[in-house]
Structure 1
Amino acid sequence: MAWFKDTYLFNQAQLKLAHITDTHLFENTNGEYFAVNTATHFKRVLANLAQANLDAVVFGGDLTQDHTFASYELFATLVAESTLNCPIFWLPGNHDDLDYLHEISQGQIVAAKKIHFEHGQVLLLNSKGPTPAGWVAKEHLQEIEEHCCKPSIVFCHHNPLPIEGYLDKHMLENGPQLLNCLVDLQCVEALFHGHVHHDYEFRFRDLSVYATPATSVQFKKQTRDWQQENLGAGYRLINWTEAALDTEVKWLTK
């Protein structure tokens, strides 16, 4: 169907990915999000990823904080100026504009939402709803069912399970429906998401659910108040072979 119409193919038996998310960039490199210079954090992450021998990077949404097209251009410029040479795939967050994301999708930034390699596939979902909370449309759930026919890992922006924190008010509102769909397909090995600005691990039935910290600023865990903490930029590494799916969080301390 339309969302998964483009496929990117790796002719190899192992896939090494990085999951980065929530850059919250501004129109220039001076922009700060809760006193954190988000462009500086993003540049440090790109430089670190360039040393990791990656096959691809998945960007998990919330590229922009000020909602300007210039912030998207800054994302593309910082990627182009970095020494990272693998493709970067994306999915939308609640802050993002799909048209703007497509406009910067050229060269190293790739708009494909299905990534194949010899063992399985990666599906990048659209959880962007009409409000800051997430929603996976009925038609999109049907697309997922149609395309999820081999071992898969799945990415979306919003948290499908509560984290007992402030952002639960903006979580994926039909998260259990999505998770039950993925489990019932019996081929999904894990789901990864951003949005919550910290690292978490959950289990839903037999499915592993992982949250990846932000490249920008983190939100304190287990508090109903919206509290921020500059722990440095974070991202997640994922190494997937037929034998195992391994993942770990990396922190670039401030």
Structure 2
Amino acid sequence: MQSFLHLPIKNSDFGNILHITDTHLFANDNNQLLGVDSNASFLSVMDEIKSLKKQYDLIVATGDFVQDGSKEAYSLFAKQIQKLNTPCVWLAGNHDNYAYMQIIFKDYQLAENKVVLLGDNWLLILLNSQVVGQAYGYLSDLELAFLRKTLENYNDRYALVFLHHHAIESGCHWLDQHILKNSDQLKNIIQNYPKISGVGWGHIHQNQMHSWYGCKAFSTPSTCVQFKPASYEFNLSLEAPGWREIKLGKDGEIQTDVFRINSNQFQPDLSQNGY
């Protein structure tokens, strides 16, 4: 049975979620991903979030936490997230070591809750789309059955689903080779469960928003390097690191905005052709 978290909301009108993704951290500071010091860019994102002094009910972190596969990099993420004093749920990306995540995050009280009951009206479900050793994603039969069962168990609530991999083509040919390979199966569930109001992911290091069979489907920028939209081949963007804020209304409405750090000091090496 999947563990679940039941949280109250601080604002009587809406639930407020912070979505962070694709931090790509290193054990040692000053290491770079495509010319960007990803540890420093993550810390800048965290500093800016703290400076805004907003209250969140929940943090959702959707994978690719580390770039070097180290336990130390997972610890860096967990230590910083703890400073926000907000419950955090998480899932694995294609770059992640799932076993390390379970060990390290448990030490920092980042529990592995894949179901969150938020307030009286919302259900959040986190799915594991990781395929070990591959960049693309896939939802196993067990994961799809878990999604259906959870939706049935809480059919009085509006639902927001998170995974790492993009389920809709991004418009970047090179990225779309690493899409969720069985997105049609996820689509079929969305069509059959109209209370699914939204689906969110990371992976593509871009801000995108779609309308997908009656729900909002969106991607969130990375806290480090951004990928250039509408690029056939690998290409980097000069956009700053960012995060997403999601507001969940009582009637199933989702309002969401992307924010970026004010400084654009984290410029990638545009000569790079892959990673």
| TM-score for both structures, normalised by structure 1 | 0.93
Indicate whether 1:209 and 2:217 are aligned: yes
Q: Who is 2:112 aligned against?
A: 111
- Alignment deviations for residues 138-188 of structure 1 (CA, whole Å, 9 cap, x no partner): 111011000013311011100001112121010100112112212212220
Asked if structure 2 preserves the Cα contact closer than 8 Å seen for 1:62 and 1:92, the reply is yes
Q: Who is 2:159 aligned against?
A: 152
CA distance in 2, matches of 1:78, 1:19: 15
Q: Who is 2:272 aligned against?
A: none
Q: How many residues get paired?
A: 249
CA distance in 2, matches of 1:34, 1:102: 28
Q: Which of 43-52 and 87-96 deviates more?
A: 43-52
Q: Who is 2:135 aligned against?
A: 132
| TM-score for both structures, normalised by structure 2 | 0.86
Asked if structure 1 preserves the Cα contact closer than 8 Å seen for 2:8 and 2:57, the reply is no
How much does 1:105 deviate? 2.1
The 3-state SS of whatever aligns with 1:123 is strand
Q: Who is 1:248 aligned against?
A: 257
Between the aligned residues of both structures, percent identity stands at: 28
Asked if structure 1 preserves the Cα contact closer than 8 Å seen for 2:206 and 2:220, the reply is yes
CA distance in 1, matches of 2:143, 2:78: 28
How much does 1:102 deviate? 0.8
Task: Give 1:211's aligned amino acid.
Answer: S
Pairs within 5 Å for 1:64-143: 64-80=66-82, 82=83, 84-106=84-106, 107-117=108-118, 118-130=120-132, 131-143=134-146
CA distance in 1, matches of 2:31, 2:89: 24
Indicate whether 1:178 and 2:170 are aligned: no
CA distance in 2, matches of 1:38, 1:109: 22
Q: Who is 2:267 aligned against?
A: none
Q: Which of 242-251 and 41-50 deviates more?
A: 41-50
CA distance in 1, matches of 2:165, 2:95: 11
Asked if structure 2 preserves the Cα contact closer than 8 Å seen for 1:161 and 1:176, the reply is no
Q: Which of 191-200 and 10-19 deviates more?
A: 10-19
How much does 1:108 deviate? 4.6
CA distance in 2, matches of 1:24, 1:125: 20
Q: Who is 2:177 aligned against?
A: 169
Structure 1: give runs of 5+ residues left out of the alignment: none
How much does 1:79 deviate? 3.0
Indicate whether 1:15 and 2:22 are aligned: no
The structure 2 residue matched to 1:231, chosen from 236, 239, 247, is 239
The 3-state SS of whatever aligns with 1:78 is helix
Asked if structure 2 preserves the Cα contact closer than 8 Å seen for 1:153 and 1:190, the reply is yes
- Alignment deviations for residues 8-50 of structure 1 (CA, whole Å, 9 cap, x no partner): 1113353210111000011122121111111111112222333
Q: Who is 2:42 aligned against?
A: 42
CA distance in 1, matches of 2:131, 2:194: 26
CA distance in 2, matches of 1:247, 1:108: 27
Task: Give 1:116's aligned amino acid.
Answer: L
CA distance in 2, matches of 1:45, 1:113: 25
How much does 1:87 deviate? 1.6
Q: Who is 1:62 aligned against?
A: 64
Task: Give 2:114's aligned amino acid.
Answer: K
- Alignment deviations for residues 194-221 of structure 1 (CA, whole Å, 9 cap, x no partner): 0000101112222221011111110001
Task: Give 1:11's aligned amino acid.
Answer: P
